[in-house]
Structure 1
Amino acid sequence: MKKWVVLLVMAGMLAGCSSGGTEETTKSESTTESTSVTELSTSESEKKVELKDTEFQIEGTTYTIKILDKWEVQPEEENIPFSAREELGVQGIMVYGVKKSDVNGFEIFKHGMKEQIVSTEDFQIEEGSAAEAEYQTAHYSGSEYSFTGVTEGIKIEIQYYFLETETDYIVVNLMGVPSFFEKNADLITEMLNSFVTA
């Protein structure tokens, strides 16, 4: 799907920007799955959404994160060791990062990532939509950077979570239509809280 490709290309540009010229090797492991259930409230009824555990590697460190059961894990792309998305639609997640030893500090990492986020012909960021705030998961601290844009006439929200682990600077990148984030705030928090070194 073209929309996913545009966003994947943007994330790929971001993943390569912070290495300071150091060559990066990234490996991805097969996904291991188990499920948990989270209840979501909607205006019409209670829905049960299943999450599955996934496992992958970033720069040789194994991580796990829970994602929506309906999301399909995608083959590894250059600089993107983990991504998953809906088969049809724009909701999805990407996780990538660099070794802390390859970057001169977390603030420089964040600044470099944000500098690479630009509008393209296929994706126009809405002026004034960018927002940033400190963010804390159950395991790591960092910050959230989000904005909305339009591709092929569809409004998309993109949320970047910049996190510092014991060995790496990480980006957890979630994307979807704005209503996905509005309706599933608790679920997104649960996914981010599940991100941890295996």
Structure 2
Amino acid sequence: MKNRRPTFLFDADGLICQWTSRMPEFLTSKGLPTEPVLASLKANDYISIEDIFSTKCTRTATELLEEYNRSHHISQLDPICQSTGRVLRELAKIGDLIAVTCIGKEEISAVNRARNLEYIAKKNLFKAIHCLDFGESKEPIMNRLRDEHNVMMFVDDRPHHVQEAMRAGINAYQFTYKMNESSIDENLQHLCSWSEIEAEGKRLVALNA
């Protein structure tokens, strides 16, 4: 039976937490330059894994990324902004929260992701955390969640994941906080702050009451 409680779907990295916030420590431990990541931390913009790990070899970059995603650093990531936790707590009062994140499917990655989300929200608020592999499409899980839950919205910073949710018939938004214009898809709906996420979530719940 479909859960009728309003449900909010969220990406994690680049929306709830700043995935690269502990990357400088990891890079230092590997003897790799930190400058590209330190520059990216000033904006919520995508940086390729090859640039992060200062290599032209995608295989090497992928191996380092997977190692980072298995590390304790993932449990210690900074919130994307100061209001993130507060808004998550507010939305949890009126609906269920579910995360869909491409952090990897290994158990340690899932455990560290859950710990980090609890740390940011100050509570264990998420009803479920669906962990996908890096680069994996979110469309199949979006189809399933649409059928199982009363989904109000999905928010992600990456345009192609927003499009995947839209193809599943879900009301989806690109999160554009501190994002350069070149990374923003003008054809999508946008939310540029957690205050806007809160307002839109509450509006949709009232609209569907």
Does TM, scored on the shorter chain, surpass 0.5? no
Higher helix proportion, which one?
Answer: 2
State the TM-score, normalized to the length of structure 2.
0.25
* TM-score, normalising length: structure 1: 0.26
Higher RCO, 1 vs 2 (CA within 8 Å, ≥6 residues apart): 2
From the two aligned structures, give the one with the greater strand fraction. Answer: 1
